[in-house]
Amino acid sequence: MEKQRIKEGIERYLKVKHGIKLKDAKDYEIFNAVSLTVLEEIIDNWNTTTETYSKGRMAYYLSAEYLMGRALGNNLMNLGVYDEVKDVLSELNIDLNRIEEIEEDAGLGNGGLGRLAACFVESAATLDMPLVGYGIRYSNGLFKQNIENGFQTECEDTWLKYGEAWSIRKDNDIQIINYSDMTVKAVPYDVPIIGYGTKNINTLRLWQCEALREFDFNLFNNQQYIEAVSGRNKAEDISRVLYPNDTAEAGKILRLRQQYFFSSASMKDIIKKHKAKFGSDFSEFAKYNVAQLNDTHPTISILEFIRILIDEEHVEFSSALAIAKEFFGYTNHTILAEALEKWDIRLIDRLFPRILQIAYKVDEALVNELRQRSYDEGAIWNFKIIANDQMRMANLAIYVGRAVNGVAALHTEILKKTELNHWYHLYPNKFQNKTNGITPRRWLRLCNAELSELITDLLGSEDWVKNLELLKGLEKYKNDDKVLERLMSIKHEKKVQLAEYIKQEEGIIIDPNSFFDIQIKRLHEYKRQLLNALYILDLYYRIKENPDLDIPKTTFIFGAKAFPGYRRAKGIVKFINEIARFIDNDSEVSKKIKVVFVHNYKVSYAQKLFPGSDLSKQISTAGKEASGTGNMKFMLNATPTFGTYDGANIEIVQESGEHNNYIFGLRVEDIEKIKHSYDPKWYYRENPSIKRVVDTLINGTLDDGRTGYFEDLYNALLEERDQYYVLADFELFKKSQEQVFEDYKDKKKWAQKCFANLYSSGIFSSDRTIKQYADEIWYIKPAPIK
């Protein structure tokens, strides 16, 4: 982009969008003007990409979440115009970094599922793959988290308050969605997905729910104002909030409406595109189209797709089911029962009875197939899509899906050997592994410019940004003192930046010369933030007993959101914050250790935390974390993993060596052996350290504000048999952490561990993952535009 055009574009959009001149513009107005200037530049390539893709086979990625992060910096970097725009703004006395900071993180996702989807659509664009993402344009994200007196509090995440420059409303493609009790509009907003070093611009289509009528004029005229807009409010509720609380039936109904809303809109959109090319002939539909279900949330798409073919396109049921079996693929992200969705058929019948009829027909087809294969009725029950008055969405996805994939080697093996073993015996050829990945653009090139510069200097080019396997070329420098010193100097610089950011965001001062031990992820019992917290409390007592305990000064950093209805997770948030307060109030211990719980953990915060880390905590109960991608982001930023033999940790240590990481704790096979005889009370009785820290939950040492949170955590450990094996892994955790502290004393040895993780991380690029999906499930090929 020419500098003059950038300048003119900014001035033009400030004028037409905000009616102001540059000298009077606020930061968010400048952000909008810069974004629209760039958007204008890419429109032609975006339209050409869409047209090029439509001529061949297309893949569609259906996900309830896309945790995109901020768009501006990433888009400028991928387009290769970051420096030009920075220079232009500098000439106008504007700091680009300040403008980037004003952008709200898009409130379209929450955890690893959504961040993976964001990495995938970016990688597909970078690789020129014909992939379109579908999701929901939530008006509000999950929630904004604050910490008040140690408690998590929630308020609305109004990410659209300044408008949203990076999307285009497409009224020509509105779809009408029918429920038994209401009809709404699905309005598409297209977001450009800009690949790195390519002219191709892919599309993420997000559906916003709107009422067919703005308001009832007659009711309004009769001065019944609330009633007049109730229909609009009810429609807008469907896309108002990501994952509304579903602890009560009203929440479950809203979640179900959401899933059907974006599934129905997406299926209608795909079918509309197909008909524009081939008319009403669906015989070759699956030759040109393939859809990937990102977990069970969009699985109702299968039934809606079959319904549309039967009811609207007059295709026979058997043919519609056969087409669906070639069209859909299913990614399983977890073995946790709570995430393998089951819906009460009473709710399905209430909202869309025709979908339930279709489900019974699909279930009947499955049962007939199993009977033909000589399965007895008892065995068939485990496969059924509808059983116990529930619709089992995972069973539906596996039966119809052309492929079923796990997201890490161990996870896929667990699916095959235990959790989905009966399905694996039925359809062994369906099951595949696709180890997750992360985009190196956002998670290294953008968030760690200093480390990126070192890599480019050593490798002699920036080709690694599109081919992460080239990082292996760094290995020859593993004993080079100057390279290792420069690496650790960069690490320290990123820690200084993180410390400054935490001071700005939290009002807390931390020492960048201390050891930064970081655990950042969704708050869930299986991720075991509680184990980390209990360890820190034990360390506090050991320092009290021995003030000269030989450990480096350490800052333990947590970041996590607990779902609003997840009481126990909120109790863990309070427990961690009480430990932080307890340590801060001790003038001696606080000289050695500090605990910080950063509020409202999100992508833009993560972009500071990953580069500024000394240790990556990945301590899920073995067998529970399907993959993890945070572990990969730490690794890519030259950070050793401290974790269990679980998820992608296994592949991380295979790549970089167990001696460069810290693996501790029970493994899947160990848990299998002890799970029926496990007695957490034995650990509590026999280990004084465990008893001391667990007792703080009930003896008044720490205060939960009379909420009962801490007593509940105590009961989870001792009365509910500690289902995540926190106490069983406590001493093993402690021993490994002591090894970390010992190894950290040898600065060169530690630098080599960090460097080994960096040069071994190439396999964890989402480019590699997407290429595997493209080659082995979707059968799509790159289609670069001219």
CA distance 35 to 71: 9
CA distance 141 to 571: 22
List phi, psi (to 5°) of 427.
-130, 65
Catalytic residue among 144, 268, 274, 333: 333
For 581, residues 6+ apart whose C-beta sits below 8 A from its C-beta are 150
Nearest Cα to Cα of residue 690 among 651, 717, 657: 717
Q: Is 629 known to be catalytic?
A: yes
Tokens of 479: 């004993």
Catalytic residue among 621, 629, 644, 696: 629
DSSP letter assigned to residue 559: E
Alpha carbon separation from 377 to 15, 234, 392, 423, 479 (Å, rounded): 71, 43, 18, 15, 64
Catalytic residue among 522, 528, 561, 617: 522
CA distance 595 to 597: 7
Catalytic residue among 466, 521, 602, 768: 521
CA distance 766 to 120: 6
Alpha carbon separation from 405 to 436, 456, 473, 604, 719 (Å, rounded): 11, 35, 31, 30, 36
Give the ranges where 279-408 is alpha helix by DSSP (H): 285-288, 300-307, 317-327, 345-351, 353-372, 377-383, 393-400
Nearest Cα to Cα of residue 715 among 736, 697, 688, 737: 697
CA distance 397 to 293: 8
Contacts 24+ apart (CB under 8 A), 471-476: 471/758, 471/759, 471/760, 471/761, 471/762, 472/759, 472/760, 472/762, 473/759, 474/755, 474/758, 474/759, 475/759
Q: Is 333 known to be catalytic?
A: yes
**Spacing of C-alpha 255 from chain mean position:** 19
Catalytic residue among 633, 734, 753, 768: 633
Give the ranges where 388-448 is alpha helix by DSSP (H): 393-400, 409-414, 421-426, 440
CA distance 274 to 114: 27
* Strands 390-392, 342-344: pairing kind: antiparallel
Whether 643 contacts 616, CB under 8 Å: yes
Helix 688-695 crosses helix 529-545 at what angle (to 10 degrees)?
A: 110
Q: Is 527 known to be catalytic?
A: yes
Alpha carbon separation from 67 to 71, 203, 762 (Å, rounded): 11, 15, 22
Catalytic residue positions? 333, 521-522, 527, 629, 633
